[in-house]
Amino acid sequence: QCAAWIPEAGAVLDLLEKCPEHPEKGGFPVVVFEGLDATGKTTVTQSVKDTLNGVLLRSPPTCISQWRTIFDDEPAPIKRAFYAAGNYILASEIAKASTQAPVIIDRYWHSTAAYTIATEINGKVQDLPPVHDEVYQWPEDLLKPDLVL
């Protein structure tokens, strides 16, 4: 429905529909680097990619990153949907790349989950969801990395 006022949403959904439902990881390791903005993730991921002769992927994936500023200006639920869709599109790219080389990822599901939690609690630590809340659980249908740093 939001494609009526955000035409780019239709393009994101089209890409998402082309992704396999349960992509399987190839034989090479998949390593995710998470962290706050401007903490050196780009530098570290590039260095690790070069050292391992791997593939570097970023979240959101390149195929939708040109629309990031559009969705960042939208209300939180639409913004979260964009990044969630990006995780599934990225999972498809990870599955394919991990059949050829080690895959290094600059952010993934963890950043989306952290943003979701942060926007829902309005900055109050005492409002965090309880420890076993489903928001902390890895989505069953999303490709899992081998290591997260």
- Listed by start position, the domains of the chain span 30-148
Q: What is the pLDDT of residues 122-131, one digit of tens each?
A: 767 788 888 8
- Contact assessment for residue 87 and residue 50, using Cβ atoms and an 8 Å cutoff: no
Q: What is the pLDDT of residues 36-75, one digit of tens each?
A: 889 999 999 999 999 999 999 999 999 888 989 988 898 8
- The fold of the 30-148 domain, in CATH, is Rossmann fold (3.40.50)
| Entry pTM | 0.86
* Cα(54)–Cα(28) distance, integer angstroms: 9
Burial 2-29 (b: 16+ CB within 10 A, else e): beeebebbeebeebeeebeeebebbebb
Q: With H, G, I as helix, E, B as strand and everything else as coil, classify residue 70.
A: helix
Q: With H, G, I as helix, E, B as strand and everything else as coil, classify residue 104.
A: strand
* Cα(96)–Cα(29) distance, integer angstroms: 12
Q: Give the residue, 4 or 61, on which the prediction is more confident.
A: 61
What's the token pair of residue 29? 């390791």
**Over 90: is that where the pLDDT of 33 sits?**
yes
Question: What residue has token string 């990006």?
Answer: 86
What's the token pair of residue 16? 């998402």
Question: What residue has token string 């903490």?
Answer: 39
- Contact assessment for residue 64 and residue 87, using Cβ atoms and an 8 Å cutoff: no
Give which of 26, 31, 30 is closest to 44, Cα–Cα. Answer: 31
